[in-house]
Amino acid sequence: MAGIIFAGIFFWGVAEIALNGPNPDVPFAGLTGHFSFDRFLLLGGILCLIPPTIVYLFESKKRDAIDNNIPHLIRDIADAGRSGMTLTRAIEISAERDYGPLTKEIKKLIAKISFRVPLEKALQFFADRTGTMLSRRTAMLVSEANKSGGDIQESMESIAKHIQEIQYLERKRRATLRPFIGVMYISFAVFLVTVYLLISSFFKQLANTTFGGSSAIGGVGFNFISLPLPKITAVFLYMAMIEALFAGLVGGKMATGYLKDGLKHAILLMLICFVTFVFFV
Segments making up each domain of the chain, as ranges: 2-58+172-211+227-279, 69-170
Per DSSP, the three-state class of 226 is: coil
pLDDT for res 227: 64
Query: Crossing angle for the helix pair 2-20 and 50-81, nearest 10 degrees?
Result: 160
Angle at 94 between CA 88 and CA 96, to 5 degrees: 115
DSSP bridge partners of 28: 31
CATH architecture type of domain 69-170? Up-down Bundle (1.20)
**The pLDDT value given to residue 43:** 93
- Compute the distance between CA of residue 82 and CA of residue 162 in angstroms, rounded to an integer: 19
pLDDT at 222: 47
Give pTM, 2 decimals: 0.79
- Phi, then psi, of 175 in degrees rounded to 5: -65, -35
**Half-sphere exposure of residue 91: CA atoms within 13 angstroms, side-chain side:** 24
Identify the pLDDT of residue 86.
80
Low-confidence ranges of the chain (pLDDT < 70): 150, 207-227
How many CB atoms within 10 Å of residue 95?
20
Q: How many whole angstroms separate alpha carbon 2 and alpha carbon 199?
A: 33
- Residue-level pLDDT at 281: 79
Alpha helix positions (H), the chain: 2-20, 37-47, 50-81, 87-94, 101-114, 119-130, 133-148, 152-198, 204-208, 229-256, 263-279
What's the confidence (pLDDT) of residue 219? 52
pLDDT at 10: 87
Q: Using alpha carbons only, how large is the chain's radius of gyration in Å?
A: 29
- In angstroms, the CA 247 to CA 241 distance is 10
